[in-house]
Chains A and B, each alone.
Chain A
Amino acid sequence: MADARDPHEDILLAPIEHTGPGFYWAVAFLSLLILWGTVAYWVQFTEGLGVTGLHQPVGWGFYVTNFVFFIGISHAGTLISAILRLSKAEWRRPITRMAEVITCMVIFIGAGQILVDLGRPDRMMNVIYYGRYQSPLLWDATSISAYLTASLTYLYLPMIPDIAILRDRSEKRKLLYSVLALGWSGTERQHKVLNRAIAIMAVLVIPIAVSVHSVVSFVFSMTLQPSWHSTIFGPYFVVGAIFSGIAGLILTMIIFRKAYKLQYYLKPIHFRYLGQLLLIMALLWFYFTFAEYLTGYYGAEPEEMKVFWAKFTGPFWPFFWTMVLCNFVIPLVCLASLKAHTVGKVMIASVAIVVGMWLERFIIVVPTLSFPRLPFPEGVYWPTWVEWGETAGSFGLFALFYLLFTKFFPIISIWEIREGRETSVKEVEERIRSYLPGDAQEKA
């Protein structure tokens, strides 16, 4: 198979074989962000969490917001890729790997937020020594590590044939590629086993992904606090996670499409389909938000209403209404019709949604803590440079990981594109034929 030199290989392997000045500029910029984050964390580690803006009673702020946000973004990948694979959506081929890499990179960053948030990170092993399974934080630890394992496997399996191509072609990192290729030679049996394994992982990974953001929401909803204690939180968080995940995926696709000149692979049609998916999620997100707030408002418990009005007209109104604008109004306007300027419109909607979903997480975490039930003086939380630095560093770290990945492995699956061209066109035609009535054989 390898001897039939594929023109696609050259385009898709170009980022690995040639590195331009743009790459070094990007690495330098991201390193600066990471440096800021490192300094911030070092100061926090030595001085204590007091260097942040956290206080009594707002003990959770940016870090927990980031945690929920990043874990949400991680749903882009594996979940969407698995759904597209299982539903045999043929347009998935250039997208799946990009999506899966997001998951694997971002989940480290997301879980890391909790470590950053700990007052005593040196004692984090206590979670294993003295773990109390009644605590939703342990459910998180379990679910997230299962998701990470499954996602890494699910990313790795479809990479094997591509790594074999690299092993056969490339002079660099020969040892790394030969080990990772696991002796792949592209026989029919190997393909059969691989496809079977991918299918099993795709089925397995969906319930795990759903469980991850459900238990993330349980951290809040299992408490008795107003605006947290809600049965809708599990599905609400999962919907929000997929929503922000698709937006994150689209932005990644647009960036690498431009940087690595992949216009030939990532066509407007891909953005159009993803844009439609995004529109559906925007409507679903609005429905959940509406149901959640209407229930609280109608019941009108005094404690609930304090938090409710704080979001609608009180100190948190700018965040709340920007969230509504970003998550619902802008996407609706941009995505309603995608006939022309598809990529631009989808990009604007995605940027808005990423911002809006971060605000949504913030608006869930902070206002509830700001309004205690008992008559305490109400505190206003405002982050310091430490939290900003840690947040910037986290984004930088994610982008750097992602960038480095693209320098080691092709970001678009070579063999899956080839498979699409060689076998799927025929398969799809046959499949569609089988849906249609009036086939002579079936009549009999």
Chain B
Amino acid sequence: MALWGMVIDLDRCTGCQACVMACKAENNVPAVGVKEAKRERVISWMQVLTETDEEHHGTKMRFIPRPCLQCDDPPCTKVCPVYATFRNPEGIVGQIYERCIGCRFCMAACPYNAKYFNWHTYQKEGPGQNPDVSVREKGVVEKCTFCHHRLQKARERALAEKRQFDPAEYVTACTEACPAQAIVFGDLSDAASEVSRLARSPRAFRLQEELGTKPKVIYLTEGEESG
């Protein structure tokens, strides 16, 4: 069984937000509008966080693109009272929008704030949306799914063509969009894959690793000289 994971090289990230926009288009993430944005209700499954570098205070910013970290021990799934969020056997943390009761317990429990709530009806089904991804109603929580629909499509294609599914066929929208190739996606259970190789790099670290959530999004620190 594959274990999908991602490596993000912070040394390569330019903070251009191409991943953010690609994700929004791919996953029908609603644009909430200015009024709602001012009230801090922006939905952004992939979000580029900025942090001032402590060594170069005030002169250097650090960009941290943050999708859902797809924890192997996710704090959000345990607290869901209706199994609307769960970790699937391949390590992807899913969300059943049709079942979610909107209690927002998972949002309170996620140490990475990777879950978002539909405070209003932000959009209805219409032209221009990705038909592979369902449009969320008001009152439910949504999140990054590692573009899970792409995995399903790749598998179905392989099945239709009567051949083995190749993990290289499955890649997330943010990975594809990154012009600096800072994002690498693949199967962490395959020791030979690029993502596994990078995850073993001495530069590799995980966000809030000490919490024991075992995230499958792994970051590479900036510049060997500063790390």
Q: From A43-51, A174-182, A317-325, A429-437, give the one contacting chain B.
A: A43-51
Task: Please report which residues of chain B, range 93-110, place their CB below 8 angstroms from some CB of chain A when the two chains form the complex.
Answer: 99-105, 107-109
Report whether A135 and B81 are in contact in the complex, using a CB–CB cutoff of 8 Å: yes
Q: For residues 121 through 169 of chain A, which have their beta carbon under 8 Å from a beta carbon of chain B?
A: 121, 123-124, 126-127, 129-132, 134-138, 141
Which of A338-346, A375-383, A406-414 is the contact stretch? A375-383
CB distance from A59 to the nearest CB of B (A): 4
8 Å CB contact of B103 from A119, A130, A223, A374: A119
From B21-29, B37-45, B125-133, give the one contacting chain A: B37-45
Residues of B contacting A376 with CB < 8 Å? 49, 113
- CB neighbours (8 Å) of B80 from chain A are 132, 135
> Chain B, 5-38, contact with A by CB distance < 8 Å: what is the 0/1 string?
0000000000000000000000000000000100
Q: Which of B111, B113, B140 contacts A224 (CB 8 A)?
A: B111
| A56 touching B78, Cβ below 8 Å | no
Chain A residues with CB under 8 Å of B81's CB are 127, 131-132, 135, 137-138, 141
Report the Cα distance A120→B112, complex, angstroms: 24
Is B185 engaged at the interface, CB distance under 8 Å to the other chain? no
Interface of A is mostly: loop
* Cβ of B211 to closest chain A Cβ, rounded Å: 5
Judge whether A56 and B118 touch: CB under 8 Å: no
A54 contact set on B, CB distance < 8 A? 119
How far is it, in angstroms, between the C-alpha of A121 and the C-alpha of B103 when the chains are bound?
9
Contact B36 A369 (CB under 8 A): no
Say yes or no for A114: interface residue by CB 8 A criterion.
Answer: yes
**Chain B minimum-CB-distance residue to A380:** B40
Which residues between 20 and 64 of chain A lie within 8 Å of chain B, taking CB atoms?
Answer: 47-50, 54-57, 59-60
Nearest B residue (CB) for A139 = B81
Interface of B is mostly: loop
Q: State the CA gap A55–B79 with chains docked (Å).
A: 20
Is B138 close to A, CB under 8 A? yes
Q: Scan residues 90-132 of chain A and give those whose CB is less than 8 A from a CB of chain B.
A: 114, 117-121, 123-124, 126-127, 129-132
Contact B82 A131 (CB under 8 A): yes
Q: Are B109 and A55 in contact (CB under 8 A)?
A: no
Please, how many residues of chain B have a CB less than 8 angstroms from a CB on the other chain?
45
* Complex alpha-carbon distance, A126 and B100, angstroms: 8
Residues of A within 8 A of B167 (CB): none
Contacts of A276 in B (CB 8 A): none
Q: Bound complex: CA of A60 vs CA of B115, how far in Å? A: 14
Q: Which residues of A contact B111 (CB under 8 A)?
A: 224-225, 373
- Contacting pair A126 B99 (CB below 8 A): yes
Q: A377: nearest residue on chain B (CB-CB)?
A: B40
Is A119 touching B102 in the complex (CB atoms < 8 A)? yes
Distance, CA A121 to CA B100, complexed state (A): 10
Q: Report how far A126 CA is from B84 CA in the complex, Å.
A: 10
Chain A 388-414 per-residue mask, 1 if CB under 8 angstroms from chain B, else 0: 000000000000000000000000000
Residue among B81, B111, B119 with the most chain A CB within 10 A?
A: B81
* Chain B residues whose CB sits within 8 angstroms of the CB of A126 once the complex forms: 82, 84, 99, 101
> Which residues of A have CB within 8 Å of B112?
373-374
Q: Does B120 contact A (CB under 8 A)?
A: yes
List 13 A-B pairs, Cβ < 8 Å.
A47-B120, A48-B119, A50-B36, A54-B119, A56-B107, A119-B103, A119-B117, A119-B139, A132-B82, A137-B103, A373-B112, A374-B208, A375-B49
- Name A residues whose Cβ lies closer than 8 Å to a Cβ of B: 47-50, 54-57, 59-60, 114, 117-121, 123-124, 126-127, 129-132, 134-138, 141, 219, 222-225, 369, 372-377, 379
